[in-house]
Structure formats: C-alpha cells, structure tokens
Structure 1
Amino acid sequence: MALSINSIQGKSAIVTGAGSGINLCFAKLLVENGCNVLIADLALRPEAQVLADKHKTGPARIVFQETNVVDWAQLERMFEVAEKEFGEIDIVCPGAGIYEPHWSNFWRPPHSTESRDSPSGGRYALIDINITHPIRTSQLAIAYFLKNRTSGRRKHLLHISSIAGQITNLTAPIYNATKHAINGLVRSLGALDQKLGIRVTAVAPGVIKTPLWTDHPEKLKLIDDTTDVWVTPEEVAEVMLALVRQEEVSEIIGDRSGRGPLYKVSGGTILECSKTVRAVNQFNDSGPGNRPGNTASVHRTAEEESYQQMTQKGWGLPKL
C-alpha cells in the first residue's frame, strides 16, 4: 500500500521547547512545508533565532512566544497568541523536556546542595516540565481543537516520549517515570482519533545529539563513542513530520532505507526513533534493545555515582 500524504501547507502549529534540539528541527520542517509555527520556549538559541528571523514574514511564518511551560497562565497565553496570529490551530507538540539535571534529580533530593527543588515546595521541576506541562497542554489543545473547528480537517497532538518510557534506568528514575507516563497518556487519548478526528501520537527517540546531552558533561559520561551511535534531531523530526502528514489510517515506512516494514498509524501510535523506526506495542513489546541509536553503554560509572550520593551523611533527610 502506498504512503498516503496529507499536506500541512496553510496549517498552523504550536511547538514548545522549539528553541533548540528536536523541536527546533521539527519547527523548521513544518515552516518549510508551509505550516505556520508558534515557538514557545524560554529563549531561542542562535540557530533558532536565525530560523525565526528568516520566517518573520511570508506564506508560512514563525512567531516566538516566550513561555515558561511550568506556568499554566503562560501555556494559556501561547494558545491565545497562536490563535490571534494564525487562526485555526491544527498541530500541537508539547515538546519541552529535560533529562534529570542535577538541579531536579532523584539522587539530589530537596535539601541537597545542587537541588533547586524547594524542600517546602511540594513538587519537582522535572515532573512539572516533563509530564505536567504535556498534560495541561493536551487539555488546552483539545479545547482549542473543538472550539474553533471550521475546516473539518484532522487535528494532531504529538508528544515526545523516549526509549526511557520502555526501560528502567537507576541513574534517571524520575525522567524514566515521566516518559512511561507520556506513553500512558498517549495511548489513553488514542480513542479521540476515531471519535473526534484528534490524533494523539508520540515519537520515542533513542540517544539524540542535542543540547539536552551535549551541554551536560555528566550525561556525556554515559556515552561510549567507540560503540554507541548518535541519532540526529533531524532524523527524529522527519518521523514527527510524517506522523502529522498521514491520512486516516495510512502507513509510515519503518526503515529509513525504505525496505523495512510498514506500520499503520492511528491514535495512540508511538514510534521509536533510533537508526530505524518501529512501532512500540502496548503489550508484549520486545523493547528498544541494542539497535544502533538506542544505547548509552557507560552506565556503571553513573550508577556508582548514584550509590555514592546515598552514602553521604544525611542523604535525603530534612536538614534540622
């Protein structure tokens, strides 16, 4: 069966976290294919600023809206701005996320020197960014999709999961928990596709060469450059673009060479993105395995650091 493609020309999108990395590459593909994009982020890295400046005007535009995704009022504002700038909203990607930084980290709990999570705050910044923000953004997206649906065209809510949503990882347990939660959210909203024409899907990247890794020496220690393979953000963005261009239950090529299997795409679909692409099954899935682009081999050193954290006097206890 031939791949059936739906044009995104003339449509409009909101992408959080598109100031850099995968989401920036996705925003670039969207605008280059004729789709208006509101980038919602704290700031634009230089490469994102160049893209935004290039598409200030024209048939497809980029608008930057400074947004702290943990602030619900700012999430509401980004939808208001997108609707004012572009009219009907077709695609929403709550892509902003972080990978267990020392300032919001299971092994550096509140009261520890490096943590910025307030001991009296009752919350973790990592959870606010990685799962609370996608949940609230999903609610707002569905509300806007239903409120001003004048065209009758399918809507897309595209999440960023991870291979971490299928595996365990002692060094990043909160991050893994948030990605397991994203998978559950996407699958739970899958029925909206047939009922309301709102397709909720996700990509699950492997080890991606983005600032999320490269700006953090403590994370780069997990990578063995002699054996591990980086996946590029551009490769993931291509799969994201394919997901929002599919017709009702058309198919997406599961191998970048074009020789691999075909997968039916519908609501609740999660596509793992390593050097190949595969659908992640809800039950009895084989897991990401050691496919190129899925491995970060040097976990033992990082795990030892986690154990060392626990040996510190008073670890995890309130300071008196």
Structure 2
Amino acid sequence: MTTQTVLITGALTGIGRATALAFGKLGVNIVVSGRRPEAGQALAAELRALGAQAEFIKADVTQEVEVRALIEGAVARFGRLDVAVNNAGVEGQNKPVTEQTEQNYRDTFETNVLGALLSIKHEMRVMQAQGAGAIVNLSSIAGQVGMVGASVYVASKHAVEGLTRSAALEGAPVGVRVNAVAPGPVQTDMLERFLGRDEAVKNGFLASIPARRAATPEEIAETIVWLASDKARYLTGQSVAVDGAYTAQ
C-alpha cells in the first residue's frame, strides 16, 4: 500500500503544528510549511522521530511562485500529494468596522483568502491528475456567523467557505474532496491576540460557548485527520464546525 503524502501550510504553531504531529504519528510522508526555517526544520525532525518521513519547505502563501514551488517540491520529494491542509492564516485587527483600514483588509485577505485560493489551485491540479485527493481548509465559526469587532476576519473566513464549496463542486467528478473545518475558540496564541489579555473579556467570551471552554489544538487536529481520511470518503463541500455548540445556538 502506498504511503500517503500530506502537506500542511502554516504548520509551525497552534492548529497547524498539532495537525502535523497527529499525521506524523500515523507514519505518513509529510511536508510542513511556514515562513521560519529554523522552527520548520525542528518540526520536521520531531516528525521524523515519530516515524514519519518529513520535510520542511519554506513558503509564503501570498506569493504564487512560492506556493507552486512548495507543492511541486512535495511531489518531487514523495511522488504524489494525497492530503493538503491549508491552515496558514491571520486574525487581523480586532476593531469596530468604522475603524477598519484598507491595509488591514489587504493583509488579512492576502493571507486568508488569496493564500487559500493559490494553495487550492495548485493542490487541485496535482490531485486531479492523480484522480484522488483530499483538501481541508481552515475556516472558523467566523465563517458562519458575524462577530463584533472582527468584520474583516469574518469576511475573509466567509470567503474561505465559498472557495471550499466551489472547489468541491469542481473536484467531486474526478475524486478530489474539498472540505473545511470551522473551529470555535482554540487555546492558541491567536486566541490570546484576538481577545487581548483582559481575563474578564476572555472569560466572558468562553462563557458564551455552551461547552464552557476553548478547544485544544489537538481536538481540531483530530477532526482534520478524520475529514481527510477514507472514513469521510463521501463527505465533500462541507464546513464542519468544531465549536462546543456555539453555532447551534
């Protein structure tokens, strides 16, 4: 049986890192990507220690030439691409819509939307030629509801959900599945930056989650691994909310 090859962007911290470790424990071939070579090489070594064949390739997902080189590099190293997890993303500035700036829009959309589009574009080309593959995009509950102070981030994640559905329609006839995972609050540095250091604000937000807590990165990673697996082989074009019942309210 051919060993699967998995590619993860934004793999160096948070959900991306947890996902890399979850796949690494399965002994797959894995390419991790990000913009910090030292951290990337350390993660690749950690994955190899788990039994995976692992490589780090530096890439900025807002630059198409780098995205193309990343995916071509993964295929050159391992011969194919079975799973792609498009995790690279930023939270942008948490401010009222009346205070949002053109620069914040550009910065947020270039990473969250353009980065996802370019990644899907080149991953899909490889997977269509293979006749099989699974792409998992990282969305958010912000891709399904509105959020005060986060208009630009919310808009970017709604766009990711639209990209996911449209790409799924194109991929389904040739055996390529495209889905999204939409986490609620997760115990990461991004959540700390987004909510700020005010414990009252953080506790108030977590109290609005029926589960009364944030998820761990590992809980999101487990969902991603399942969604990319053959156990979900008829599931495509969907966004799976992993949010402690927040969007069920």
Band of TM-score, shorter chain: 0.7 to 0.9
- Residue 58 of structure 1: how far off its partner (Å): 8.2
**What does 1:46-65 align with in structure 2 at a 5 Å threshold?**
50-56=42-48, 60-65=52-57
| Post-superposition offset of 1:102 | 6.6
1:83 to 75, 89, 114: 75
Which of 153, 173, 176 pairs up with 2:151? 173
Matches within 5 A, 1:1-320: 10-43=3-36, 50-56=42-48, 60-101=52-93, 107-110=99-102, 117=103, 124-147=106-129, 149=130, 154-192=132-170, 194-215=172-193, 218=196, 222-224=201-203, 227=207, 228-247=212-231, 249=233, 265-275=234-244, 288-290=247-249
**Structure 1 counterpart of 2:203, which letter?**
D
- Indicate conservation of the 8 Å contact 1:20/1:44, yes or no: no
Residue 190 of structure 1: SS of its match in structure 2? helix
SS at match of 2:30: strand
- Counterpart CA distance in 1 for 2:172 and 2:58 is 34
Larger radius of gyration: 1
Deviations for 1:223-264, whole angstroms, at most 9, x for unmatched residues?
Answer: 116735111110000000111113465xxxxxxxxxxxxxxx
- Paired with 2:84 and 2:156, the residues of 1 have a C-alpha distance of 19
Contact 1:208-1:230 at 8 Å conserved across structures:
yes
Give the CA RMSD over aligned residues.
Answer: 2.9
| 1:35 and 1:61 in contact (8 A); partners too | yes
Partner-residue secondary structure (3-state), 1:55: helix
Q: What TM-score, normalized by structure 2, do the two folds share?
A: 0.85
Rate the CA distance shift 1:288–1:45 in 2: closer, same or farther, 3 A: farther
Aligned length: 242
- CA offset at residue 10 of structure 1? 1.0
**Percent same amino acid among aligned pairs?**
23
Are the structure 2 counterparts of residues 76 and 164 from structure 1 closer, same or farther at C-alpha, using a change threshold of 3 Å?
Answer: same
Alpha-carbon deviation of 1:23? Answer: 1.1
